[in-house]
Amino acid sequence: MATSANSRLLARLPRTAFKPGQSGNPRGRAPGTRNKVIRDARDAAQRLVDDPEYREALRARMVDGTAGAMEALMWFYAKGKPVERAEQVERFPHAHLSDEELRVRLLEAAKELTPKK
């Protein structure tokens, strides 16, 4: 009974209907394209954080300690999240030395640490 209902439904579909598994927009939206709601939210956030009155009020709230987490989120929406960069420190500053140069430096350091009589 269910198959007869399905076949009647399929018979009524126009010939231009998409085949199963086929998209109506195969290329889709371009990567990185924002939808209208996101774009409007970003525009509103930018207008707000660029307003001198808002900045003055925000400064006062920060001094009072009453600026909440939404303040940071508003700035993220308006200006983008800051990029966090980790400083890369050379782990082995003597890695470029040859074995002999390293041996000499270790002996010199040991002589400096040895108590003098």
The whole-number pLDDT of residue 16 equals 64
**Domain spans, the chain:** 33-79
Name the token pair of 62: 């920060």
The whole-number pLDDT of residue 86 equals 76
pLDDT digits (tens, 9 = 90+) for 51-105: 999 989 988 888 888 888 888 888 888 888 878 877 777 677 777 888 898 889 8
The whole-number pLDDT of residue 82 equals 79
Query: Is the distance from CB of 90 to CB of 81 less than 8 angstroms?
Result: no
pTM for the model stands at 0.43
* pLDDT (average), residues 6-13: 74
pLDDT digits (tens, 9 = 90+) for 15-47: 666 666 666 677 777 777 878 888 898 899 899
d(CA 26, CA 51): 42
d(CA 8, CA 39): 44
Q: Say if residue 116's pLDDT is above 60.
A: yes
Query: Is the distance from CB of 79 to CB of 49 less than 8 angstroms?
Result: yes
The whole-number pLDDT of residue 9 equals 73
Name the token pair of 84: 């966090």
The whole-number pLDDT of residue 52 equals 92
* Residue 102 neighbours by CB under 8 Å, 6+ apart: 94
